[in-house]
Chains A and B, each alone.
Chain A
Amino acid sequence: MGRYVIRRLLQMIPVFFGATLLIFLMVNVMGDPIAGLCGDKACDPATAARLKQEFGLDKPVWQQYATYMGNVFTGDFGTAFNGQEVTELMSTAFPVTIRLTIIAILFEIVIGITLGVVTGLRRGRPIDTAVLILTLVVIAIPTFVTGLVLQLLLGVEWKWIKPSVTPDAPFDELLIPGLVLASVSLAYVTRLTRTSIAENSRADYVRTAVAKGLPRRRVITRHLLRNSLIPVVTFIGTDVGALMGGAIVTERIFNIHGVGFQLYQGILRQSTQTVVGFVTVLVLVFLVANLVVDLLYAVLDPRIRYA
């Protein structure tokens, strides 16, 4: 087990370098970022040249990448064009997005799995049909529609919440945005859980557990649910990364200054340092989340072993 974890951690290294290099090249082919800094006026050539030098943009791309990676390992992610350190941007953006992601994941786990178990055990009953239709509707409606409608109804019409989140973004203000962000995944979690439960409820070990005379509650939580969670955990694990990087729509609607917003601005302004820095961290999140998912398999199903 320990060797497996170490091997997986070592495998992350090439993935990490490959991913960052790709992002670096992608941002680089977009053209000269300095040109956009002066607005509708042209930068004067002397200042533009000095700015390029300051941001290291006058060197060949491979050299920029080497310097950049060298700096990253000393914790220096460079400077964004507005003069802020990228680490400073991260320290304001990541806590907000992490809070938002935690809320979204909790919604997925609590509501999604509960609904999945309930419907999986009551296939074909009205509640099952109702939830299936509901999830279909949620999946079919794009996030920005859900977000804008909820914002308008709860924020403007009924005044239950403030339509925009304050810069501090405490947990309670992020509840509705978190629900919006989670909505589509939540529907998928429900469906995945339902199918998995429905399938496993006919399995031998469930019949054995029932035959042993175990209480229904214990059969469901310890035997049925635990084995049924493997596909769900896989989904939620990959969703962590997707939620953190892909929250841009939700963040825009609710005025959340998180990772999605910073990435969006970084791309608009072609700030290589910002984009590569944030994506580097997101790549790490993805990799670690995947590792955790793989390790959780063994916790859920003791038959799975790692060598």
Chain B
Amino acid sequence: MRGATHAKWTACAVVVALAATACGGGDSGGGSGASGIVSSSWGDPQNPLEPANTNEVQGGKVLDMLFRGLKRYDSKTGEAKDMLAEKIETTDSTTFNVTVKDGWTFSNGEKVTAKSFVDAWNYGASLKNNQKNAYFFGYIEGYDKTHPDKGEPSAETLSGLKVTGERTFTVKLNQKFSTWPDTLGYNAFAPLPRAFFDNHAAWLSKPVGNGPYTVNSYSKGSKLEMRKWDGYPGPDKAQNGGVDLKVYTDNNTAYTDLTAGNLDLVDDVPASQLKNVKADLGDRYINTPAGIIQTLAFPYYDEAWNTPGAVKVRKGLSMAINRAQITDTIFQKTRTPATDWTSPVLGADGGYKAGLCGDACKYDPAGAKKLIEEGGGIPGGQVKISYNADTGSHKEWVDAICNSVNNALGNDRACVGNPVGTFADFRSQITQSKMSGPFRAGWQMDYPLIQNFLQPLYYTNASSNDGKWTNAEFDKLVNEANAETDKAKAVDLFQKAEEVLRDQMGAIPLWYQNGSAGYSTRVSNVALNPFSVPVYNEIKVS
């Protein structure tokens, strides 16, 4: 019976194979179909869901539902309004006395006190906890002790934070920063319950916060179910029974699910569907401005781009770009040509100034050619615009820009795209200062202040000053603006700084990005906030 023996050995091998590969069944379950639940598309968050560790939109929208901080940005105007803060007072723009409102609790019943904030901020600032948003606490005194640039931290807690009562604490900053309270709406400043510190792993698998929703179930990488918290004490209670966030492998699939009536909300309409979206959704398509600007940054560590003549070259390049045509044809008007370095969502009072860029941002191919020639021509004879090719369909618009530049200069080799395989590699080349020409830069605001569009990006050695641009006059004006207690005057000084940036053309502004979303007939009252995140708690389910 040789055949039988063979079969036996084959069967053995199959058993080994199955034992080596099968890793137990998935844990299914979870009751769907509950009433008033909004289902929404989601992307897998890149980092663990902790307030001070979440720096991208996908994790941010969860924190936005789970937490409420001292301030909250108005979902329409973006204005920072008191949420848990009863009052934040200062006399010198350096020391702030904070009083937390009474009657707030976390969803596990624990009271939200001054300590909930101080503990959370100390945790976020400490180098030991590897929090990616740690630099948000950089303005607080003692940050350099808990988070030194090199070596081990010499302090556990920030010396600038002191709990003075159950509901009061003081914050001492290491520099004057009059609009600092307005930054407190950012998620990194959310309070944390004791459970976070006592059993961190358990908290991460089912986060507990003080916002209008609680986590019902969370299966990482696939689905997060949030339910309305009936005991929520705040004024912005959830208008629906809950939100199910579903991870999609591709935003095209999410869009297909929406058109098939299988999903209620898509907050990222894929570029390829923008042509059909009006026909598919009609009024249920939202296209509103968001606090995002796209620019081209330059490597100032490269001598060739840091000459006096290069200013003219940069201005010339800016003038050679036909922004209107690109935003119309490639982005189907989901972006608006930029005329300054901030965003329209700030509003005129907040520091947005349409047309600040002036002629340098107007399409003028003849003028562009003249300026570039005056400036000594393009360094090296060719501009290479670097971008990451893996996400965001950057290739299309970079090629379009190059096309526009080449036409203006009458030289079809004057500008080429330089794709980099992955975003991680693109970022690592930038942080290692390896760029040889202009590169794609995008900025999504953390809080709606003009300061956030200028200081982190263009201040000398600032955290996101990727091109290493430096200008003493600009730095001086930013410092003055931060010290100014009158908001209107501060904004004015920031705009003066922005004019310095314009005169040097430190970075070429390209366009403001809109948030685009679509929703099903089942839901209503859907809107995007200035951060292009849906205002989930206001969505109504019919």
Contact = CB atoms under 8 A, between A and B. Distances in A.
A40 interface: yes
A227 to B, nearest CB: 13
Contacts of B263: 164
B24 A35 contact: no
Contact of B23 (A90, A267, A295): A90
Given A37-B47, A41-B456, A41-B463, A95 B22 contact: yes
Given A39-B55, A46-B148, A288-B20, A295 B10 contact: yes
A156 B256 contact: yes
Given A51-B130, A268-B390, A45 B149 contact: yes
Contact of A265 (B7, B9, B44): B44
Contacts of A251: 249
A162 B23 contact: no
Nearest to B14: A292
Interface of B: 2-3, 5-7, 9-10, 12-14, 16-17, 20-26, 28, 44-48, 55-56, 127-128, 130-132, 134-135, 147-150, 204, 219-223, 246-250, 252-254, 256-257, 259-260, 262-263, 390-391, 421-432, 441-444, 456, 463-464, 466
Interface residues of A, number: 77
Interface string A253-280: 1111100011001011110000000000
Contacts of A21: none
B123 to A, nearest CB: 14
A147 to B, nearest CB: 10
A255 B248 contact: yes
Contacts of B23: 87, 90-91, 94-95
B22 A292 contact: no
B249 A255 contact: yes
A135 B47 CA distance: 45
Interface stretch (A25-33, A62-70, A122-130): A25-33
A302 B2 contact: yes
20 contacts: A32-B428, A35-B425, A40-B442, A41-B55, A44-B463, A46-B127, A48-B431, A54-B130, A83-B48, A83-B204, A84-B221, A95-B22, A156-B256, A254-B253, A255-B257, A257-B249, A268-B422, A284-B20, A285-B20, A288-B17
A162 B260 contact: yes
A140 interface: no
Given A1-B9, A47-B132, A295-B6, A285 B17 contact: yes
B464 A261 contact: no
Contacts of B250: 252-253, 255
Contacts of B3: 299, 302
A98 interface: yes
A188 interface: no
Nearest to B50: A83
B424 A163 contact: no
Given A82-B220, A268-B424, A295 B9 contact: yes
A257 B441 contact: no
Contact of B5 (A1, A89, A285): A1
B256 A155 contact: yes
Contacts of A151: 256
Contact of A38 (B28, B55, B150, B421): B55
A40 to B, nearest CB: 5
A207 interface: no
Given A95-B24, A156-B259, A268-B422, A292 B13 contact: yes
B427 A38 contact: yes
A281 B246 CA distance: 27
Contacts of A47: 127, 130-132, 134, 147
A83 B427 CA distance: 21
A39 B456 CA distance: 14
A81 B426 CA distance: 18
Interface in A139-168: 151-152, 155-156, 159, 162-164, 167-168
A168 B27 CA distance: 8
A175 interface: no
A109 interface: no
A25 to B, nearest CB: 15
Given A37-B46, A54-B130, A164 B262 contact: yes
Which 7 pairs of residues, A with B, have the shortest CB-CB distance? A36-B424, A167-B222, A35-B428, A32-B428, A35-B427, A288-B17, A83-B48
Nearest to B456: A41
A268 B441 CA distance: 19
Given A46-B150, A295-B6, A164 B463 contact: no
Given A43-B132, A252-B253, A268-B424, 20 more contacts: A31-B428, A40-B427, A46-B147, A48-B431, A50-B127, A82-B44, A82-B47, A82-B48, A92-B219, A95-B24, A164-B254, A164-B263, A167-B222, A167-B223, A253-B250, A254-B253, A255-B253, A268-B391, A292-B13, A299-B6
